[in-house]
Amino acid sequence: AQSVTQPDIHITVSEGASLELRCNYSYGATPYLFWYVQSPGQGLQLLLKYFSGDTLVQGIKGFEAEFKRSQSSFNLRKPSVHWSDAAEYFCAVVSMTTDSWGKLQFGSGTQVVVTP
């Protein structure tokens, strides 16, 4: 069965420091991968997505993610965090199995706290 795992439940980072959020997937073929962000009291917003091609993808708000097939990972990064980046981040993969084709499956999320 396909799955997506976010090993870190909670991360605290200082404003201006770099941020990396981990995402691992379990899938036989090249998956479609996404990162969404959920600010407090808000719905989820797409940060970036990877379908194929260049393994380093740029997203909104200064975020980027790198697809590494050998590590089954799709980690999210930002060089310098702003206080407004405090939110919950979800990695997601689109299922390509016969019984659930096209279904977007989310990880359990990583809560990011930004300190002054």
Partner 1 sequence: EAGVAQSPRYKIIEKRQSVAFWCNPISGHATLYWYQQILGQGPKLLIQFQNNGVVDDSQLPKDRFSAERLKGVDSTLKIQPAKLEDSAVYLCASSFGLAATGELFFGEGSRLTVL
CA dist., res. 16 & res. 11, Å (int): 15
Q: Identify the residue among 11, 32, 62, 66 touching partner 1 (CB under 8 A).
A: 32
CB of 15 to partner 1, least distance (A): 25
Q: How far is the CB of 31 from partner 1 (least distance, A)?
A: 10
102 binds partner 1 (CB under 8 A): yes
Region of 14-22, 41-49, 52-60, 79-87 interacting with partner 1 (CB under 8 A): 41-49
